[in-house]
Amino acid sequence: MDRRGFLAGSAAAAVLGTLPAAGQDSYPSHAITFINPFPPGGAADVVARPLAAVMEPLLKQPIAIETKAGAAGAVGAQFAAAAKPDGYTILIHIVSISGFAEVDRLYGRPVKFTNADFIPIARFIADPMVLIVNDQQPFKTLKELVDAAKAKPNELIFSSSGLHGALHLPTALFMRAAGIQLRHLPTNGGGPALTALIGNNAQVLCSSIAAASPQIKAGKARPLACFGAKRAPALPQVPTLKELGFNIEFYLWVGMFAPKGTPSAVITVLREASRKAAADDTFVQAMNNIGQEVAYLDQAEFRAFWEADAKRVEEAVRQIGKV
């Protein structure tokens, strides 16, 4: 009842134009909404839900998760960018957030939002991608794959979750670095992309380790290289691209963002809660369950990481170009 009473009060305040001052002292004073820009069970959702569960007692307010899926995550991001910057609408998004503006520019469309519209708060996980091939393919090492692709350009097929998507971008970076050309088979999601590989309708796929590991364990897919700076604990025998002489990194990371203009006092509260949540055993366990290590970065480091990562993503988008 308290909450409803307050909501009514703050709504009245909003009408009188006094809300920004009213909310600040005691943030958070009512329910917070996390925007999940992907379908339920997607990359952001599986992090947002345990995170919300752990952050609720820290912030002493309920956290609702609102799914605003569409256009590969652009709808949710645009919604959050346009939300009132009061700390009650928070976006949970992944690596692909950096690509939308570049894709819009590529097609000569008006840019709906850029990275400057968001304040990074924290990064929670960063899963390096892994390059896998179908087990019926003869390639045992990355070199064999590159040689085969060079011998017959445009013959092997790689699948992806969609054009300019999180699974397409690393493949594009790798193809350029290796100087090879593979045919692109876009599908409409990470699941269908993996299905295409397992069914041998595609031979190569860059996937998140979490999604690929059951198939790797079952011997249906063979990992050739990882996209991390160092080897992944889940796949210790798989070399990184850096070891193999390609200077590429690519992570499927999940982070928290607030709309531009959110008061710094509010950001501080959220940073503090995120830091505690990331160290919480329940959250760590939940991440381990989905095959992830917590890779927490606080605002300053996350901002630096995000800037470097955005450059990689934009470069990959330009590399793919307009199809």
The secondary element (H helix, E strand) that includes residue 186 is: strand 183-186
Complete DSSP assignment for 271-301: HHHHHHHHH-HHHHHHHHHTT--EEEE-HHH
By the rule CB under 8 A, 78 interacts with other proteins: yes
Q: Which of 44, 46, 166, 224 binds other proteins (CB under 8 A)?
A: 46
CB of 162 to other proteins, least distance (A): 6
Q: Which of 107, 116, 138, 152 binds other proteins (CB under 8 A)?
A: 107
Given a contact cutoff of 8 angstroms between Cβ atoms, the answer to whether 255 and 169 are in contact is no
**What are the residues facing 206 on neighbouring strands?**
131
CB of 221 to other proteins, least distance (A): 11
Return the SS3 of 178: helix
CB of 241 to other proteins, least distance (A): 25
Q: Which of 19, 24, 148, 189 binds other proteins (CB under 8 A)?
A: 189
The number of CA neighbours under 13 Å toward the Cβ of 13 is: 13
CB of 208 to other proteins, least distance (A): 12
By the rule CB under 8 A, 93 interacts with other proteins: no
The span from the CA of 292 to the CA of 249, in Å, is 17
Structure tokens at 175: 């193809």
Alpha helices, H only, the chain: 2-16, 19-24, 45-59, 74-82, 100-106, 142-151, 168-178, 190-198, 209-217, 264-279, 281-289, 299-320
Q: Which of 192, 263, 293, 303 binds other proteins (CB under 8 A)?
A: 192
CB of 187 to other proteins, least distance (A): 7
Give the residues lining the site for other proteins (CB under 8 A).
4, 7-11, 14-15, 39-42, 45-46, 49-50, 52-53, 64-72, 74-75, 78, 103, 107, 109-110, 112, 154, 157, 162-164, 183-189, 191-192, 194-196, 198-199, 201, 210, 213-215, 217-218, 220, 286, 288-291, 322-323
